[in-house]
Chains A and B, each alone.
Chain A
Amino acid sequence: MTKESGIDSHGLKLAERHYQDYTCSALESKAQGKKVIGYLCALVPLELIAAAGLVPIRIKSDPRQPITRADTLMETIICPQIRGCFDMAVKGKYDFLDGLVLPHACDSICRPYDVWKYTLNLPYSHFVNMPHGTDDSSQKFYREILGTFRKSLSGFVGNDISDSSLSEAVRLYNENRAAVRELFALRRSQPPLISGMEISKLLIALMGLPVAQSSRLVREVISEVKQRKVNSPRLPRVMIIGAQMDDATFVDLVEKSGAHVVTDALCPGLREYSADVPVTLDPLDGIAERYLRGVKCARTYEEKNGSYSDYLDQRFGFIRRAIEEFKVEGVILHVFRYCDPFGFEVPAMRSYIEASGVPVLYLENEYSMLDASQLETRVQAFIEMIR
């Protein structure tokens, strides 16, 4: 994609800086005397961490590097993205952390929790035991779980977390999500105003920033991108679906193969930024609602309502809506080896998407970008097919 020159690209440059030097902001917070909490996955309710006066940073992997030390401490049958995160942690990339919070997201996060906890041996650790179901009793249970988390964080910081600080955190995170959604909308045009690669790098950078700083950066990027006059040849519009993708190399590969990545169902990505925390009298109720029922993650079990076809709509309708909204012409379903929640979705999800007339490329790999030539060949062939 080519963009007209003469535009102040400060926001995107800053995003690039935070993408390349991912922990710099957390280290600055640390230098200011703040406590920093590392976490995995989009299912950790960050509102509570922020309301406790702590700075959250999502631990990320680096698929451009081989996993080495982690393999001596953790089984290799675990999701490669999580192993990659652990590898970074045991190689010292996150030595500045004061604590660790893992959610009950999937087996690859849940089962090795103790390996993380005992190996990193941080002053604070907590497992947010989120249920799988979304029925009312699961919701009530999750509300209790969040109460325990709140109490635990309060104990760590030595202060109660007030409802008003929680409400303020809810407001800040909702504002952040709204800003990101506004940015996503800039991909609707033909050609999109912002590339998939730029969005991907920005969203990854945001995982390492405090929420207010994150929102400022997004706003800056929006105003910058809105001024663009994009001049690009007509390219196929592609959506990427998968679990967590905390590196932009794959998106770059797709775009370099001759497509625009215009939307996704990824973390970080549309999945993570779609739902807000509803404003409720007790802020924990709204937080429980959003994380359990709002985030459309394969790990969460939605009860079936109606026919099987209705059920597929219920589970994957958000994908079809994104396909329509962003005029998607092809979907790349990218699943990591050893990922049970997303792996089991593939036959149903694939047939659901294909039924809408959009072709799907299903890729399964180890989430290693050390040698992406095989991936590249398959992606290029797919893009050639939908062109």
Chain B
Amino acid sequence: MTQERKRRVLATDAAASISRMVRDMIATTHRARQEGKKLAYTFIYCCYDEILRAMDIVPVWTENYAGICGAKRDAERFMQRAQAENLSRSLCAYALCDIGFDAWREELGEMPEEPPWGGLVKPDMMLGSGQMICDPRTKWFQAAQHYMPDVPVFEVGLPWIPYEQDYRARDVEDYYVRYIVEQLRSLVKFLEEQTQKKMDWERLSELVDLSDRTWNLVVEAYELRRATPCPMDTGDAMSTMVPLTFMMGTRQAYDFFEGLYNELKLRVAAKQGVVPDEKYRILWGGGLPSWYALSDFDYFHGKGAVFPAETTYRLIEPVYELDLPPSGDPIEHLAWRWTRYWTFWHDKARRRPCSHPDVERLIQYIEDYDIDGILMHEAFSCRSWHPGLIWQLAQLKNIYRDIPSLVLESDIIDIGSYNEADTRSRIDTFIDILSASQ
């Protein structure tokens, strides 16, 4: 059951408000079940948040629920249940946690005992998304359906254009966009069948416009973190990712980032930093966090180290720089925004010999945020964001400069992979290296 955990110290009021926001979000799913609203299991960064919102479908963010179990150090019993179903412990730990929960809930006919924050509600539908982010987006809900055979799964194809030398993104993006548009239209049709309601296209346009503005606002707010001392770091951003990833297309998300922007402006003006005596500025250069070990950020802070930027969960770029073709069709707009987001760093990478979009982004952040070192986290159960991190660091050294770096190894929610003493000892060594390099 729940293990003891330490309370984290957050720099901003905005980040401190997130815990309640997540609780409300989970409570909304329970209320929706009672009120007979349609609920859909879905994944973060699925490109169709606004479509769900426009159709009044309540999203159940499956990764989020597993993350909550992890943060509360109460994921183990659900993962063990998944293992008992012959699902390998090496699979995505989020999926293991939730499928274990699903199997248990369906067997009992009610929530397992004392589930974190009331539990994961049974959905009316599950919306997968076949794309290059990860295999579980195609396989997870298909596997979950084994325990909920009456719940339909709909799979949306959302590819992005790889960075290649033999062709440019512009050569192929038309047919990528065409495909994504067709897939999203099929999704709308599926949702209309499930809800017996027609899409309100005007409302969808409004929500897409709102999320465009939210994207821009997030960029503007996060860029305030360039200041020295840094007014907010990755420790907080692992909380502010909630409205960014789970609430896109809502007024609540927009208002949240407006509030964050204003708060950061004030903190910058008052020279209020995350730590009183800032010594080292570290880039969180890749990997999902260990949700059970976010207090490691406090440990860094105790050493005078802050994280002004992160690549993780910064799944937005300024919309005004994406050069999106004008379209009155919100579905087309979503498809173009998706496509151009993934190719945003391509042109910059081409300008530097042997560069790559992921490496170019690291370089840009190092310069923009005056970075002294890079930290990455390799989560053993996730093959989405973690393969290639070692290579990115090596390539960074080859084409840019040698910069102190540390790759921590653990998991997203599988606490058995975490050793606090060892982690802290590695952090100490890293801090020594940063100190010596200054």
Contacts and interface: CB of A to CB of B under 8 A. Distances in A.
Interface of A: 72-75, 77-78, 104, 106-108, 110-115, 118-119, 124-127, 129, 131-133, 135, 137-138, 140-141, 144, 148, 151-152, 155-156, 298-299, 301, 303-304, 307-308, 335, 337-341, 343-348, 350-351, 362, 364
Contacts of B155: 132-133, 301, 303
B387 A111 contact: yes
Contacts of A72: 390
A340 B389 contact: no
B295 interface: no
Nearest to B165: A125
Contact of A126 (B90, B135, B138, B166): B166
Contact of B138 (A73, A132, A155): A132
Contact of A73 (B87, B354, B378, B390): B390
A301 B142 contact: yes
Interface residues of B, number: 63
A348 B144 CA distance: 10
A133 B157 contact: yes
B157 A73 contact: no
B190 to A, nearest CB: 10
9 contacts: A74-B391, A114-B163, A118-B356, A137-B182, A138-B179, A299-B135, A340-B383, A343-B87, A344-B135
Contacts, number: 175
A108 to B, nearest CB: 6
Closest 5 pairs (CB-CB, A-B): A132-B130, A308-B149, A344-B139, A340-B135, A107-B383
B356 A335 contact: no
A343 B166 contact: no
Interface in B47-99: 85-88, 90-92, 95
Contacts of A347: 85-87, 143, 146
Nearest to A307: B149
Given A138-B179, A156-B166, A301 B138 contact: yes
Given A77-B386, A141-B176, 4 more contacts: A125-B165, A132-B131, A155-B166, A346-B86
B168 to A, nearest CB: 11
Contacts of B391: 73-74, 112, 114-115, 118-119
Nearest to B84: A347
B157 A112 contact: no
Interface in B77-132: 85-88, 90-92, 95, 128, 130-132
Interface in B373-392: 378-384, 386-391
Best-buried of B131, B140, B175 by chain A (most CB within 10 Å): B175
B145 interface: yes
Given A111-B388, A343-B91, A362-B86, A78 B383 contact: yes
Contact of B135 (A133, A155, A156, A341): A341
A75 B132 contact: no
A131 B179 contact: yes
A344 B91 contact: yes
Interface of B: 85-88, 90-92, 95, 128, 130-132, 134-136, 138-140, 142-143, 145-146, 149-150, 152-153, 155, 157, 159, 161-167, 171-172, 175-176, 178-179, 182-183, 186, 354, 356, 358, 378-384, 386-391, 394-395
Contact of B157 (A119, A138, A344, A345): A138
B164 A108 contact: no
B157 A137 contact: yes
Given A77-B386, A298-B139, A144 B356 contact: no
Contacts of A127: 162, 164
Nearest to A116: B391
Contacts of B88: 335, 337, 339, 343, 346, 364
A118 B354 contact: yes
Contacts of A151: 167
A340 B387 CA distance: 14
B135 A106 contact: yes
Nearest to B180: A141
Given A77-B378, A132-B155, A340-B136, A348 B143 contact: yes
Contact of A113 (B142, B162, B167, B354): B162
Contacts of A75: 378, 386-390
A317 to B, nearest CB: 16
A166 B91 CA distance: 39
Contacts of B390: 72-75
Given A308-B149, A344-B139, A347-B143, A108 B387 contact: yes
A352 B149 CA distance: 14
Contacts of B380: 77
Which of A73, A108, A129, A345 has its CB near the most chain B CB atoms (within 10 A)?
A129
Nearest to A364: B88
A125 B167 CA distance: 11
A111 B383 contact: yes
A104 B162 CA distance: 10
**Residue among B145, B356, B382, B387 with most chain A CB within 10 A:** B387
A136 B378 CA distance: 37
Contacts of A106: 135
Contacts of B140: 344
A129 B388 contact: no
Nearest to A153: B166
Nearest to B150: A308
Contact of A137 (B139, B186, B394): B186
A141 B179 contact: yes
Nearest to B85: A347
Contacts of B176: 141
Contact of A132 (B92, B153, B157): B157
Nearest to B385: A111
A144 B175 contact: yes
Contacts of B86: 346-347, 350, 362
B388 A340 contact: no
Nearest to A133: B157
